[in-house]
Structure 1
Amino acid sequence: MNRRIPWSTVILVAVAAFCAAVVLYENLGTAADRAEKIERDKLLVDIAKMEDISKAFVAVASALKPSVVSITTISKPVNFPFTNDPRFKRFYGRIPGKEGAGSGVIVSEDGYILTNNHVVRGGDMINVKLADKREFKASVVGTDAKTDLALLKINAEGLIPAPLGDSDSLRPGQWVIAIGKPFGLEQTVTAGIVSALHRSKVGVADYENFIQTDVSLNPGSSGGPLINLKGKVVGLNTAIATATRSDRYQGIGFAIPMNLAKRVMDKLKAEGRVRRAYMGVFIADIDDVPDGVIEASGFKEGGGAYITDIVPDGPAEKAGFKKGDIVIELNGKKVATKDQFRNLISTSEIGEEVTMKVFRGGSELTLKVTLASLEDADILPRRLTPQPPKILTPPQPRRKHSTTTRVRKPIGVGIDDITPGLAKKTGISVGGGVYVGDVLAGSFAEDRGIKVGDVILEVNGRKTGNSDKFALAIRMAASAKSISFMIARKGSTLQIHSAW
């Protein structure tokens, strides 16, 4: 017999099921809401962090703006004989002088301002405008064209110097800020990151060890500070890379490291010029050393400066350095490239004893050398072969009954004739020319970008089939205002042109 379930029970079960469904739905909804809220809170935290970074940029810009100045230069017009003629003045008036513009950074309360040499070069009058709109005439304390730095001085009160930082602490990827006067727009702030370090052969100065950045720089930005997020000046904006002659920003800028700028600045403040120290070595980058040499030495690290030869009786030879040594550290600082090494030596004090870590014969050793003055050095580059060199410094042709024609400056290269043995050893495939076996650190040749391993084909259009013809070509170029080298390098040909 079938038993009937009371309606009250059915209703009770239905109500219970409904309530359970409602509770379950609410719990599920609460979990979804909770997850959404957690995600939203995370986004708000990320936004807050970005806002904090934004505030850091604002704070740094606000703190450093008072230390950045605008620089305007005026060069006197060239006077031709006819410019003073009343009839010329009547129709054309006065010929205006040439104007230039750039930026600078205040480095002391008593009015010293650091900027680029090219900003003030050729300026007969230099005007400095502060962030508070005050304007002053500036005097040049000293300039150094080899690093493209200049130190100015103004007589003003209430100046706020910028704190100077340690450029050696920079790493690629770090945020940096630039303040300057691009296109005459004063106190312009731009930002970016450090793209690379130790950039050289940019063609701006003889001594280059640039910080590369993607900070927006344009004409007028030169001389302005590059600043880290701690509010410290870590570089001086100097140059931009351009794909055309428009001189417009292409995403690559270069700044002089502040540690280098500080050393030059101190010398300019003390003497008004830079007297460079000298060690007496020929050096090359590891990558420029012929294949097999580095492998045979057992050197495994990246970077360093390879010593290709030693100047006789120079500081390095007296200190025990040898050809083939690889300098990996100088006064505790890692040596990455030969240009960095050269900059560190040249801006050290004359007479200073520096400590270097050197790799030799599979092990590391420490050597100390007392630096001499480059101005007083008798620089005579040697050949790599034991034969007497065909050309040391450019020869001076002798004439009967007349004074000797002076060559303007030593070239600073050691050269070899290209023999079958040398061609096989170095992999040279060009015909003719002379092989560059040595390039003296700090010499005319190194400053112009001539490297160990280059083959010089021509000098001022004259063929250099061997060392005797090279010597003759150098003698013929002695009276010229400029010198041009045609060079074969790694399968391509390039032209290096420079004023003497």
Structure 2
Amino acid sequence: MHDSRTHGEAYRTPKRGGLLVLAALAGLAAAPTLLAADTITFTDPETRASADVTAPTTLSKAFRHVANTLRPSVVQIISIDHPPYANRGGEAPRAGGNRIPEQFRDLLPPNRPAPPSNERGGPDRMGQGTGVIASTDGLVVTNNHVIAGADEVKVVLHDGREAVGTVIGADPATDLAVLRIEASDLVAANFGDSDESQVGDWVIALGSPFGLSQTVTAGIVSAIGREGVGLARFENYIQTDAAINPGNSGGPLSNIHGQVVGINTAISSANGGNDGIGFAIPSRMVGRIVNDLVDDGTVQRGWLGVNIQPLDPELAATFGHDARTGVLVAGVVEGTPAADAGLRPGDIILDIDGRQTDTPAGLARRIADFAPDTEVTIEFLRDGDALSRVARLGTRPGEGVRPAATTPAANAGPRLGLELAPLDDASREEASLTTRDGLFVRGVQADGPAAAAGIEPGDAILQVDGTSVDSIQSFRSAMEAAGEGTRVRLLVERAGMTRFVVVRTGD
């Protein structure tokens, strides 16, 4: 559809001025004797027009330098899913794409026709993305959603060589993953400090949009510190208008010096293409997560143990606070670092270790940036009085354990379009759930049966047709018993309230 619209625009009837020009050219063609032999000549670089082009030429050379520096470090990643897999009508998968809100399209290319069937009884399904070489011994950084659910990962280097990618570790909470490849003469990218990036800085995006490898585009930093986008648990994105499209996911965003300051992750788009709003994970976060993953395949984050909510002026006034700065403590979990430090409901946290925190997401990310057992100073208000406490952070519940390589529950039995995970303390706290049993809804396919029934990320599935489910296997068994093409009744909890939901299963 895009090509047809483009062609339609290209062949639109020209205006009168255009017709006159074409007619004049036709007249010249009919009378070649009127033209000099050397009508078109090429100006020598030394005698170019005297217009001042020093600044644009310098910028062009800077872009060339970035491209020449980084392109050897940029790879194309092909994720391969062997059958059995969830049915998508014969289309190739967009690995992890269903977990991204519709308005924030992931940067994997649109579904391509599936390759021919193989001996497993069906075709392999493939998705594409980008990665950046982080070390000469073969470590490659990309997005988790590029490789999530893949049975096989293929990495194509800038010179056309191919290598098998082994997943070292993945962190869905930030949408980052690390692969290792075995290859010689690898060129590692240099990473810069994203904290030095400012709005208005030039940035360059490299990747494989629509499978077109080694594509380079440029733009500026449109905003920094973007959160609340809904792509991952911990968000602190660099926003850019550099042209990035499906296939750029996992590729580098560079500053003008050729240093990687971000990993491209998603775009906000009405039609799946570039609308000038792209998001990249800042290199500061990338370095912290990648170093942890390389160490043992897991990420351990600090944990305070508070339930928090944003402040609006009316709510702040009830606590004697006349500004919107700070984050309100709505609850303190017993036996946690927050409780040990003496925090109470009604406290307004202003900063953590000298850095201001004005949103719940920012506070949670700030705490998660610290390693467990780190002591942090918390500045807060209580009944209008400024107080300070030191807390020794714990380990965020449910983390520090290497995730098992299991197939999502949505891929077993009738497909509901759900991504489920065992319910742990961190999930309960995050979603304000009261149940001790059940499965946590981590993602919902936008056009799936579960979404149509009103199920949302953060819900908990307690029962399937009256059968309690507290593991992926018990969910699979209950869904298989329900059969295909039938309705299934789910008992769902959302923020402490339970209700029954009827979902028509897919085939």
TM-score of the alignment, normalized to the shorter chain, above 0.5: yes
Q: Distance in 1 between matches of 2:440 and 2:84?
A: 34
Q: Which moved more, 1:166-175 or 1:96-105?
A: 166-175
Partner of 2:5: none
Shift of 1:163: 1.7
Equivalent of residue 307 in structure 1, options 304, 329, 332: 329
Residue by residue over 1:164-190, the C-alpha shift from the partner in whole angstroms, topping out at 9 and shown as x without a partner, is 222223332222111000011111111
Residue by residue over 1:255-284, the C-alpha shift from the partner in whole angstroms, topping out at 9 and shown as x without a partner, is 112212221111211121223321011122
Partner of 1:204: 231
Conserved? CA contact 1:105–1:113, under 8 Å: yes
Q: Distance in 2 between matches of 1:295 and 1:62?
A: 58
Q: Distance in 2 between matches of 1:199 and 1:476?
A: 42
Shift of 1:361: 4.9
Asked whether 1:51 is paired with 2:57, we answer yes
Q: Distance in 2 between matches of 1:123 and 1:348?
A: 31
Asked whether 1:108 is paired with 2:135, we answer yes
Partner of 2:286: 261
Conserved? CA contact 2:319–2:384, under 8 Å: no
Residue by residue over 1:51-71, the C-alpha shift from the partner in whole angstroms, topping out at 9 and shown as x without a partner, is 322322222222121221111
Equivalent of residue 365 in structure 2, options 339, 343, 346: 343
Partner of 2:200: 173
Conserved? CA contact 1:142–1:273, under 8 Å: yes
Within-5 A mapping of 1:155-194? 155-194=182-221
Conserved? CA contact 1:223–1:238, under 8 Å: yes
Shift of 1:408: 4.4
Q: Distance in 2 between matches of 1:445 and 1:359?
A: 34
Shift of 1:336: 4.4
Q: Which amino acid is the alignment partner of residue 278 of structure 1?
A: W
Within-5 A mapping of 1:258-407? 258-287=283-312, 291-294=314-317, 296-300=319-323, 303-362=325-384, 364-375=386-397
Q: Which amino acid is the alignment partner of residue 236 of structure 1?
A: I
Q: Which amino acid is the alignment partner of residue 227 of structure 2?
A: S
Distance 1:265 1:283, change over 3 A: same
Residue by residue over 1:369-403, the C-alpha shift from the partner in whole angstroms, topping out at 9 and shown as x without a partner, is 111122279xxxxxxxxxxxxxxxxxxxxxxxxxx
Equivalent of residue 148 in structure 2, options 100, 121, 126: 121
Q: Distance in 2 between matches of 1:272 and 1:369?
A: 27
Conserved? CA contact 2:441–2:461, under 8 Å: no
Partner of 1:8: none
Secondary structure of 1:297's counterpart equals: coil
Q: Distance in 1 between matches of 2:424 and 2:394?
A: 20
Distance 1:92 1:133, change over 3 A: closer
Q: Which amino acid is the alignment partner of residue 379 of structure 2?
A: K
Partner of 2:78: 72
Q: Distance in 2 between matches of 1:92 and 1:369?
A: 57
Secondary structure of 2:314's counterpart equals: coil
Asked whether 1:250 is paired with 2:275, we answer yes
Q: Which moved more, 1:274-283 or 1:362-371?
A: 362-371
Partner of 1:235: 262
Gaps of 5+ in 1: 1-42, 81-90, 378-406, 416-435, 450-459, 463-469, 488-494
Residue by residue over 1:260-314, the C-alpha shift from the partner in whole angstroms, topping out at 9 and shown as x without a partner, is 2221111211121223321011122334xx71425753354x6543322222221
Conserved? CA contact 1:306–1:325, under 8 Å: yes
Greater relative CO, 1 or 2 (CA 8 Å, sep 6+) = 2
Partner of 1:15: none
Secondary structure of 1:160's counterpart equals: coil
Conserved? CA contact 2:463–2:469, under 8 Å: no
Q: Distance in 1 between matches of 2:268 and 2:294?
A: 31
Q: Which amino acid is the alignment partner of residue 76 of structure 2?
A: S
Q: Distance in 1 between matches of 2:491 and 2:233?
A: 16
Partner of 1:61: 67
Q: Distance in 1 between matches of 2:442 and 2:83?
A: 32
Q: Distance in 1 between matches of 2:155 and 2:462?
A: 50
Q: Distance in 1 between matches of 2:136 and 2:79?
A: 23
Secondary structure of 1:118's counterpart equals: helix
Conserved? CA contact 2:463–2:492, under 8 Å: no
Conserved? CA contact 2:462–2:468, under 8 Å: no
Secondary structure of 1:50's counterpart equals: helix
Distance 1:135 1:446, change over 3 A: closer
Residue by residue over 1:321-352, the C-alpha shift from the partner in whole angstroms, topping out at 9 and shown as x without a partner, is 33333333333434343212212322421112
Q: Distance in 2 between matches of 1:135 and 1:262?
A: 26
Distance 1:93 1:371, change over 3 A: closer
Within-5 A mapping of 1:484-495? none
Q: Distance in 1 between matches of 2:379 and 2:270?
A: 40
Shift of 1:478: 5.7
Gaps of 5+ in 2: 1-49, 87-115, 400-421, 445-452, 476-489, 496-500
Conserved? CA contact 2:117–2:124, under 8 Å: no
Q: Distance in 2 between matches of 1:92 and 1:54?
A: 47
Give the alignment's Cα RMSD to 1 decimal. Answer: 3.9
Secondary structure of 1:201's counterpart equals: coil
Q: Distance in 2 between matches of 1:216 and 1:189?
A: 9
Q: Distance in 2 between matches of 1:414 and 1:98?
A: 34
Q: Distance in 1 between matches of 2:262 and 2:83?
A: 34
Q: Distance in 2 between matches of 1:79 and 1:292?
A: 49
Conserved? CA contact 1:198–1:337, under 8 Å: no
Q: Distance in 1 between matches of 2:131 and 2:335?
A: 43
How many residues are paired up? 360
Residue by residue over 1:88-137, the C-alpha shift from the partner in whole angstroms, topping out at 9 and shown as x without a partner, is xxx97753201111101111121111100111112222111222322211
